Structure 1
Amino acid sequence: MQRSTFVRSAAALAIAAASLGAMAQGGYPGKPIRLIVPFPPGGSVDYVARTISQKLSENIGQSVVVDNKGGASGTIGTYEASRSAPDGYTLLLVFDSHAVNNSLYDIKYDTFKSFDYISLIGTMPMALVTSKKSGFTSTEALIKAAKAHPGQINYGSSGVGGSNHLNPVAFARAADIKLTHVPYRGGGPMLSALLAGEVDMVIGSLPTVINYAKSGQANVIAIGTRERIRQLPELPTIDSGVPGYTAQSWVGMMAPAGLPKPVSEHIQSALKKTLADPAVKSKMENDGFNIVNSSPAEFEALVRKESSRWAEIIKAENIKVD
């Protein structure tokens, strides 16, 4: 009799503990989750969102709906996320531009205080890509033409201050050439302009340009890593023509500041499982994405470091938003 009472009591305690856990999370998740992508469809951040959303939905326990809110180098969608309730039903994917927008825009949110950092999802090597119309098939040929015709070669970007803008600025500084910047409203429009020959070159993240290399729609002529990569072993590195030059971009997940700890941990666990899923992992890595899945503190530390680094270049080059 005493044993039966003990078993019933233990069972009751277990149920109570589970109920308290659910209450602590507010029954999370009890409805679909919005994943804000602060850029139009077609770019690097959108690629990550579309790649992980289905498996993330399974692991988090609710539908994860991708919501593209592009404009102003990601600041419009990011601001919208910052004003959302910190309940786990609004998540945000950010690009490396998140680390520089506070140096360029009069933003209405704080890069660090307005958000809880969830995880750095991963990094992507950048690739130097030229349009078929330009005729440039090597870094050396492009630099030679740029030296002969200063300012006549242009490059596209996904907006002022994004990696597609700042990495070519750093490239031009290192190669001692002058290039003309043509900004677009996101990575998708930028790549469309490249394919149409409206711009001569871009420095874009590998996952968004790798198919152009495989299909021959554009000239993917060099990679921003220090060594050649297994996905495209025939590609030389950019620093073979511009010694010491490297370029990479990154994508991470954040949420409005103030998430309850159980909710934050639930999201982190679901994201970790998603990025470890064989199908997701294989696709992203084959497309040139290096999965990191960091801790929140590691992610925030990276953003702070990048913010300081690019702020110096922005000031030195007097880069401003028109």
Structure 2
Amino acid sequence: MRTDRRHFLFLPWSAGLACAQARAQGVVGVEGLMGSRPVQIVVPYAAGGLTDNLARPIASALSARWSRPVVVDNRNGGGGTIGTAVVARAPGDGHTLLLTAFGYIANPLLMKQLPYDPRALTPLAMVGDTPSVLYVSTRLPVTSVAELVAYGKAHPGKLVFASSGNGSSPHIAAELLASLTGMDIVHVPYRGNGPALNDLLGGQVHAMFDSVASFSHVRSGRLRALGVASTAPLARAPELLPIAQSGVPELAHFTAGGWFGFFLPASTAPALQRWLHAELRQVLKQPAVREAVERAGVEPRNLELEAFAAYLRAESERWPPVFRERNIQLD
């Protein structure tokens, strides 16, 4: 099935959410859910990446809780659309979950057609978000956000931002920064976060938005961090002020970053949706899982189902104007 991206913007999650709120019939439990079949968490990105690193401790905790196999299935490709399509086409029996990220919002804005119908998926549980930290090379002669903006305006078309790929959350954060301040930047997409970060460390590029997990390079003196794109300082880097407090008027409300969350086939029965949501929330409260999430540079956000759906609606409404204004495309 292929669908035009315009269908995405009608926010089909509301239908799935309404079903999840409907009165349950019968009792759902682990025995009724699984039988002897394993539960599959589809990660639409490569093994070893951030989403995969979140999925594995969660899968392990669910497996122990349910005394049933819970496996991670990496279906990389198509910017996350291949794995997402697997879950969109899966039976709604609770055996197939999707753990995905910001690309779920970005792909309908980047692609004229998707290999799945977004209405076939419904949100289940938010794991956390990653407020973006603005890092710069130590070779760049700036020590603040204001100095970076001044440098960018004085050198139009010369300030190079790296990202983990076109349409990724680091890319969109850089484009938002440029849009608000009037800078003319150059964007260089990489095949993943690791190569982009390596070139920033080597000085081949000037700047990059990345998670707080890379803050260790600041403490070792290999990078500078100018600010965080959140409304408050981060617990792991309390000395780092929000970009909104940088003194640049155009950035007074600047926030940007990624997020991670679970989705289900929308055909999943309401009672089963609610039960799985409650189970995931319990697992995400476990100290070992919470520590793994934080260690990955992700801020835990164990939201209620309705709050997660509202968050997704806000994200889907926020970014289309930025994509249009900055002419963000796959190539």
TM-score interval, smaller chain: 0.7 to 0.9
Is 1:230 aligned to residue 235 of structure 2? yes
**Among 294, 308, 317, the residue aligned to 2:317:** 308
What is the Cα deviation at residue 170 of structure 1? 0.7
Give 3-state SS (helix, strand or coil) of 1:154's partner.
strand
**Given the superposition, is the C-alpha separation of residues 200 and 312 from structure 1 closer, same or farther in structure 2, using an over 3 Å criterion?**
same
Q: Deviations over 1:144-174 (max 9, x none)?
A: 3222221222112222222111111111112
Shift of 1:291: 2.3
Among 271, 285, 288, the alignment partner of 1:279 is: 288
Partner of 2:3: none
Map of 1:186-225 to 2, 5 A cutoff? 186-206=192-212, 208-225=213-230
Partner residue in 2 for 1:258: 267
Of the three residues 129, 145, 150, the one matched with 1:144 is 150
Cα distance change on mapping 1:162 and 1:178 into 2, 3 Å: same
Deviation of 1:96 after TM superposition, in Å, equals: 2.1
Distance 1:55 1:24, change over 3 A: closer
Partner Cα separation in structure 2 for residue 38 and residue 71 of structure 1: 7
RMSD: 2.8
- Structure 2 letter corresponding to 1:247: A
Answer with 1 or 2: which has the greater Rg: 1
CA separation in 2, counterparts of 1:59 and 1:312? 43
Q: How many residues align?
A: 301
> Which moves more between the two structures, 210-219 or 124-133?
210-219
Question: Of 162, 166, 169, which aligns to 1:163?
Answer: 169
CA drift of 1:136 comes to 4.7
Counterparts of 2:168 and 2:88, CA distance in 1 = 20
User: Secondary structure of 1:70's match?
Assistant: coil
Looking at structure 1, the residues matched to 286 and 301 of structure 2 have their Cα atoms a distance apart, in angstroms, of 14
Do the aligned partners of 2:30 and 2:66 also contact (CA within 8 Å) in 1? no
Summarize deviations over 1:52-89 as a string: whole Å, max 9, x none: 33223222433332233333432222123222332222
Q: Could you tell me the TM-score, scaled by structure 2's length?
A: 0.79
TM-score w.r.t. length of structure 1: 0.81
1:134 positional shift: 4.4
- The gaps in structure 2 that reach 5 residues or longer are 1-25
Q: Tell me how far 1:135 sits from its aligned partner.
A: 5.8
Question: CA separation in 2, counterparts of 1:141 and 1:308?
Answer: 31
Aligned partner of 2:115 among 101, 108, 117: 108
Report % sequence identity.
Answer: 33
Output the CA distance in 2 between the equivalents of 1:35 and 1:26: 18
Report Cα offsets for 1:239-267 as digits up to 9, x if no partner.
21533122232111012221234443342
- The alpha carbon displacement at 1:110 in A equals 2.8
Residue equivalent to 2:40: 34
Residues 70 and 185 in structure 1, CA contact (< 8 A), matched pair in contact too? no
Q: Which letter maps to 1:205?
A: S
Q: Distance in 2 between matches of 1:181 and 1:281?
A: 34
Any conservation in 2 of the 1:42–1:188 contact (CA below 8 Å)? no
Distance 1:22 1:167 in 2: 41
SS of 1:39's equivalent in the other structure is: coil
- Deviations along 1:175-225, one digit per CA (max 9) or x if unpaired, are 22111111223334433443344432211232x423433444433331112
